[in-house]
Amino acid sequence: MGVSTTTHESGVAEIVVAAPPVNALTVAGWHELADALLAAGRDPRVGAVVLRAEGRGFNAGVDIKEMQRTDGHTALVGANRGCFAAFAAVYDCEVPVVAAVHGYCLGGGIGLAGNADVVVASEDAYFGLPEVDRGALGAATHLARLVPQHLMRAMVYTCRNVTADELHRHGSVLEVVPPEELRGAAMRVAENIAAKDRYVIRRAKESLNGIDPVDVKRSYRFEQGFTFELNLVGAGDRARDDFVAKGAG
């Protein structure tokens, strides 16, 4: 697992996640990402952040295999807290965060992209919440920031995915570009933001968070409570065991 930060002269902090094979993050990985995002926002040199990933896709959510090989509920609680911290860090980062999404953006990836200020995606990007099939719930809060209400509900119930082009038509993805142009497109958007007065852009982020109609932290925490319920009745473990047995992820 690796989270690296490069601060460019343009004032853009580029945060890159590399957690092979599929960028499914461990408990420690979620907290590492949260720390990197908050640190970038506190850096007075930074006017915007680009959040992207290496490998086959942007993010595949939590590391279910870590959860299943850990006795008791320690990993489950840790994953819930780690996701909460990372999603909140995107939202609370003191400067705008531009998510550069390629390949799959699933589960926890929705939490990151949904809380980002701007999303740029490659033509091969797709977005989804497979939580119901994994015996969990959560990040519908963030999916609702990307798609209309009825589509969000259909995606949660059926675990269907949507493409970057579909989200572009909904207005939640700013640009859709060829995969080889994704980093450049995201950096251009971030550089445009970082060129603004640093004090003003930070207050702009704070003011936009302040007028949000939904408290994303409280809403997501409410969802997480149902994941714990599913685990208590055994549905969570059954779904995760089946997932691991199939060798997915």
What is the per-residue pLDDT across 14-33, written as a single tens digit (0 to 9) for each?
A: 999 999 999 999 999 999 99
Q: Between these two residues, 96 and 230, which has the higher pLDDT value?
A: 96
Instruction: Report whether the peptide linkage leading into residue 20 is cis, meaning its omega lies within 30 degrees of zero.
Output: no
C-alpha separations of 2 from 43, 180, 218 in Å? 20, 22, 29
User: pLDDT tier at 76 (50, 70, 90 boundaries)?
Assistant: confident
pLDDT > 70? residue 69: yes
pLDDT > 80? residue 58: yes
Q: Among 84-88, 140-144, 231-235, 240-244, which is the least confidently predicted range? A: 240-244
Q: Between these two residues, 70 and 47, which has the higher pLDDT value?
A: 47
Which two structure tokens, joined as six digits, stand for 58?
A: 């942007």
CB-count burial class (<10 Å; 0-12, 13-18, 19+) for 212: exposed
Write the single-letter amino acid at 195: A
State the Cα–Cα distance between residues 47 and 193, nearest whole angstrom. 7
Taking residues 164-193, what's their average pLDDT? 98
Please state the φ and ψ torsions of residue 39, each to the nearest 5 degrees: -65, -40
**Contact by Cβ (8 Å): 249, 60:** yes
Which two structure tokens, joined as six digits, stand for 3?
A: 């989270």
For residues 34, 84, 156, 23, the Cα torsion angle rounded to the nearest 10 degrees is 30
Q: Among 75-79, 92-96, 234-238, which is the least confidently predicted range? A: 234-238
- Specify the pLDDT at position 200: 98
Which uninterrupted H or E stretch holds 171?
none
- Specify the pLDDT at position 11: 98
Q: Among 82-86, 230-234, 236-240, which is the least confidently predicted range? A: 236-240
pLDDT > 90? residue 138: yes
- Specify the pLDDT at position 241: 80
Q: Tell me the sheet residues that pair with 50.
A: 14, 98
pLDDT > 50? residue 249: no
- Specify the pLDDT at position 1: 61
107: three-class secondary structure by DSSP: coil
Which two structure tokens, joined as six digits, stand for 141?
A: 């809060």
pTM listed for this prediction: 0.95
Any idea which residue has 């059954």 for tokens?
Answer: 238
Is the CA virtual torsion 46, 196, 182, 153 positive or negative? positive
Rg from Cα positions in the chain: 17
State the Cα–Cα distance between residues 234 and 23, nearest whole angstrom. 27
pLDDT > 90? residue 71: no
User: pLDDT tier at 49 (50, 70, 90 boundaries)?
Assistant: very high
